[in-house]
Every structure is written in structure tokens, then in C-alpha cells.
Amino acid sequence: MNQSMTHPYQIVILGGGSAGWMTAAALSKVLDPKRYRITLVESTQIGTVSVGEATIPGIREFNQLLELDEDEFLRETNGSFKLGIAFENWQNQGDFYMHPFGPYGVTLHGVPFHHYYLRHVREQGDDKAIPLSDLNLEWRAAMEGKFTRPIADKRSPLGHIKYAYHFDALKYAGYLKKYATKRGVVALDDRMVEARQAIKHGPIEALILEKNGEIEGDFFIDCSGFKALLIGEALGVSYHDWRQWMPCDSAVALPGKHDNDNIVPYTRSIAHHEGWRWRIPLQHRTGEGYVYSSRFTDTETAERNFRETIGNHESKANHLRWINGRRDAPWRHNCAAIGLSAGFIEPLESTGLQLTQSGIMRLISLLPGPGDNRQRAAAFNRYAAEEITNIRDLVLCHYKLTNREDSEFWRYCKQMEIPDSVRERLDLYRENGSVFRNSNNELFNEISWISMFEGQGLRPENVHPLAEQMPAQTLQHHLETIQRVFAQSVAQLPTHEHFIEKYCKAP
């Protein structure tokens, strides 16, 4: 911000919910209130859908930035812990694998561990090889229903546990609203009538509200969700539709039955005849949802089949619709889109809040100010496009790498054309097990790609040449040692339910 400015820089956020209040909370934490004024406009008349939110480990960094007390945050949001995502029925009916958050084994001689494991499977055969689940601490703990935070001894595998959370999204937004307003954010319960602009699709000068009249701003942040009232309607920024690769564009959500004695520390993603369903365990209920493609089934059929699957024939259903894709330029003129208004990837890999969080951190890094922001906007847009495209590539591979042909939906997924970026990744892995990442800023690392490739039956023809140099007996001993150490470590842990009960049980 220009040191010579004599008035505070006005930031106006349109929309509450998780995106709006995460943005407001983060900005209120890092910006000097004497130099910046933050106003958030949300309408409580506009209903929101209360679903359980599943996250990935980056959310911990966001909460740490805000200096939130983890136990208090989990109590306030009915939260639980999450060690990974379980995928059921994705390659074939009855198959199971997990995308755990922590690494497999340990890197040896600079060669990623999975090359040694793939060699081990090739030599021993699937029946005699050590299960991959035994070589990952988080996977093993999740399956045994165990949890702990990282311990102080960093020499122990328990000193490096990776985890995220499940929580009630509406309660999280409310929790951050209290946080932000205490720090000076002004909250207006109002509805936007229109955005005032000097020219069509030009910079925004003010928001015209139903009750509060005009509210002027220097910079506007669009957190209005799929409606994209500023970035889409006012500024006319186009949207890239990716449904040819990601056909699931709808969901129906229902309250699930709660099992007090079985709050598992992982999300379940269960493939079904024409889509998949989520199970997100919270302290007070289990979030249940069915994701499907409107191209292959209608709303009524999807809801009926989902109700029959989970045995819920009475609760009111919430229906959601979206377009998988991204905004061409989420920062245009003096407005940036954060959250759903910037783009969306279906919730298979729990990336919704991660995209919100990374958008917020990107905005803070490239903080707008008076004068020319064009280079900052260009950088923001470039990195946003790279991030969401890389997420798209991983998610669509779950559909492409299937053997299922039991419905028109799965036949389409198996046979669909894929982007060149995905084809390059698959061809490289098939050749020698290498995982190509476009940049160090890419969200998903080798753990994510290996989990999905191995879980859905993609095996390379060869492995890294350096992995062939280790004597077979040495490799077997090494893997058995990892298996034993992880088993002993998990055996020490309390159950997930007992850990919650002791530290963060909701009242």
C-alpha cells in the first residue's frame, strides 16, 4: 500500500459461507486495521446447504495462520480427524484402496519408495507381497480406527503424522465470522441489487444494496458461490466447462445415521452404478451425499436410489448443481473471485476448501493496492489456472482408470477422451513408474498419484533403474522392518473416538 495514502484501503467481500468468512478472517489477521477496512456483505435470507466438509492437510496451515486453538475449533464445528480418503468399488465392484495423507515407506538412495515397492510386487506376486497398506502409517491407523497428533520425538514415525479434518461447514463459517468481526470486519446482512460500474464490464466502483444503499470499495472479492455475481455477471469473465472429462455435475445430500462408537478417521468415497457417494463422519452425525451426472440420470431417480441405499426415506434432501471447470481470469480489474465463483472440481478428493484457501493465500501474496495491479492479476490468474487444472487431472483419472462397464455412465468414463496433460502422465507412469509433476507448487504429490495408480490397477512395465540395484534379500528385509515398525507404532495409539472424547468433544 502506498505510504502516502491518507485514507484506509477499502476491501469489500460479497458473500459469506466458508469462502467469504475464511477470506475475511485471513485478511483481518494479516492486514493493519488502520490501513485497511474490510466489509463483508451476506444475506441471511439466502439459504445455504449444511453438509459435512471433508478437508486435506493444508487446512491445518490455514488454521495455524489464524492461530486457532485446534481443540476449540473442533468442539465448535463438531469436527473429527481425517487420515485419508477410502475409495471403494472404483476399479471393480468390491475393490478398496486408500489415498492416505502420509508417505509410503521411506525414500532410499534418492529413489522414491514406490519404485522399490513395485519391484517387490513384481518379484513376489500380489498374493505374497507385503500389502501397501502395511507400509503407510496413516492408512494402517485409519483402518484400525486409531489417531494421535504428532508426538515430540521426531525420530519416531508418530512424530510425522499427516492429518486433516471433517467438520460442519456452516459451523466453521460461523466460527470464523465471530473471529473476523472481533478483529474489525464489518458484516452487513443485505442483498446486492447491482454493481455500479462506469462502463460495462469495467472496474467496480460500488455495490448497490437493498437496505444499505451504496457501499464503495477499492477492491472487491467475489465469494458469491456458483452465481459469481461480480466476476461472472458484472465483469463478464468466461468459464471453462470441463464436463466432457468430469461428467458428475450434481449431488443430493441427506443426514446420515450417527454411530457414536464408530467415528472413523477417514472419508469414504463409494462408487455406485451411476456415480459415487460420500460418508463424512462428524461428532453429531454422518454427512451423506450422492454425486452423479445429470447426463446419465435424473434428479428424482438419483434421490430415490440414494434413499434406498442409505435407508433414509424421511429427511428432506438438499440438491446441488455445478459445472466442473474454472473461471478464465479469477482476477479482473479490481475484483478477485475466491471459492466457487473462481472454479470448482467435484468433491472426490476433498479439494473445495483447499482451492478457497490457496486463493486467499495467493491474494495475500499478491496483495492489491492503489495504482496498476495488472502484473499481480496476471500472476494470480496463471497460478490459479495451473492449480485447478492439476487437480482436475488427478480427479478425472479415478473415472478413466476403471474396469467397470455395468452402466452407461461407467462405460462413458472408461472410453472418454482425456486431455494431453493426463495422457502424458499415464504414459510416463506405464513406461517406468515415474510420476511427473508440472511444478513444485502442484497440490498433489507422489503419494496421491501412486495411491490412485496402484489402487486402480495401473502397473508400470519397468521401475527406476536404481531400484533394481538393491539385493532382493536386502529389499525384503527393509520392507519387513517398515511393516513391523508401523504395526508397533499404531498399536500404541488410542482410538479415534477416545482421542476426541479426551481433547475436543463437542458439548
pLDDT level of residue 262 (50, 70, 90 thresholds): confident
HEC assignment per residue over 131-154: CHHHHCHHHHHHHCCECCCCCCCC
> What's the one-letter identity of residue 438?
N
Final residue in a domain of this structure, among 389, 417, 435 = 389
Residue 83 known to bind ligand: no
Q: Is 256 annotated as a binding residue?
A: no
329 shares a domain with 317: no
Residue 258 has pLDDT above 80, yes or no: no
pLDDT digits (tens, 9 = 90+) for 345-385: 999 999 999 999 999 999 999 999 988 999 999 999 999 99
Report percent pLDDT > 70 for the chain.
96
Q: Could you tell me if residue 193 is inside a domain? A: yes
Which pLDDT band holds residue 312 (cuts at 50, 70, 90)?
Answer: confident
Q: Is residue 281 part of a domain?
A: yes
- The residue assigned the cell 491474494 is 363
Co-location of 181 and 318 in the same domain: no
Q: Are 54 and 392 in contact (CB under 8 A)?
A: no
The answer on whether 16 is annotated among ligand-binding residues is yes
Residue 465 burial (CB count, 10 A)? 10
Cell of 49: 446447504
Whether residues 379 and 341 share a domain: the answer is yes
Q: Is 103 contained in some domain?
A: yes
The rounded distance, in Å, linking the Cα atoms of 208 and 203 is 15
Per-residue pLDDT for 67 more than 60?
Answer: yes
Query: Phi, psi at residue 326, to the nearest 5°?
Result: -145, 155
pTM for the full model? 0.95
pLDDT at 3: 43
In a domain, 206, yes or no: yes
Write the pLDDT tens digit of every residue in 137-190.
Answer: 999 999 999 999 999 999 999 999 999 999 999 999 999 999 999 999 999 999
Mean pLDDT within 462-474 = 95
Judge if 195 and 91 occupy the same domain. no
Interval 7-31: pLDDT, tens:
899 999 999 999 999 999 999 999 9
Residue-level pLDDT at 117: 97
pLDDT band at residue 2 under the 50/70/90 scheme: very low
Q: Report residue 49's pLDDT band, with 50, 70 and 90 as the boundaries.
A: low
Helix (H) or strand (E) holding 52: strand 52-54
Q: Is residue 497 part of a domain?
A: no
Res. 52 pLDDT band, cuts 50 70 90 = low
Q: Is 86 annotated as a binding residue?
A: no
pLDDT at 402 (0 to 100): 98
pLDDT computed for residue 255 by the predictor: 80
- Asked whether residue 487 falls in the same domain as residue 408, the answer is yes
- Report the CATH number that the domain containing residue 181 is assigned in CATH: 3.50.50.60
17 marked ligand binding residue: yes
pLDDT over 90 at 110, yes or no: no
Q: For residue 268, is pLDDT > 50? A: yes
Q: Are residues 69 and 25 in the same domain?
A: yes
Share of the chain above pLDDT 90, in %: 90
Q: Are residues 217 and 300 in the same domain?
A: no
**pLDDT over threshold 80, residue 429:** yes
Note whether 135 and 203 are same-domain residues: no
Domain extent for 92? 84-163+245-322+395-491
349 assigned ligand-binding residue: yes
pLDDT in tens, 217-244: 999 999 999 999 999 999 999 999 999 9
Does the annotation place 340 within a ligand binding site? yes
- Is 113 or 4 the better-scoring residue by pLDDT? 113
290 domain-assigned? yes
Q: What DSSP letter does each residue of 420-457 carry, written as one string?
A: HHHHHHHHHHHHH-----S-TT-SS-HHHHHHHHHHTT
How sure is the predictor about 260, in pLDDT bands with cuts at 50, 70 and 90? low
3 found inside a domain = no
Q: What angle do CA 92, 95, 101 make, to 5 degrees?
A: 125
Question: What is the mean predicted confidence (pLDDT) over 278-299?
Answer: 95
Same domain assignment for residues 29 and 54: yes
Residue 352 lies in a domain: yes
- Across 321-331, average pLDDT: 97
In this structure, are 196 and 71 located in the same domain?
Answer: yes
Same domain, 298 and 340: no
Q: Which active-site residues does the annotation give?
A: 82
Averaged pLDDT score across all residues of the chain: 94
Q: What is the DSSP secondary-structure string of 390-417?
A: HHHHHHHHHHHS----SSHHHHHHHH--
3-state DSSP percent of the chain in helix, strand and coil, to 5: 40, 20, 40
Is there a single domain that holds both residue 341 and residue 452? no
Question: Taking 80 as the threshold, does the pLDDT of residue 438 lie above it?
Answer: no
Q: Write down the residue that cell numbers 445430500 correspond to.
A: 253
Position 1 scores a pLDDT of 39
Tally of domains in the chain: 2
**What is the SS3 string spanning 170-204?**
HHHHHHHHHHHHHCCCEEEECCEEEEEECCCCCCE
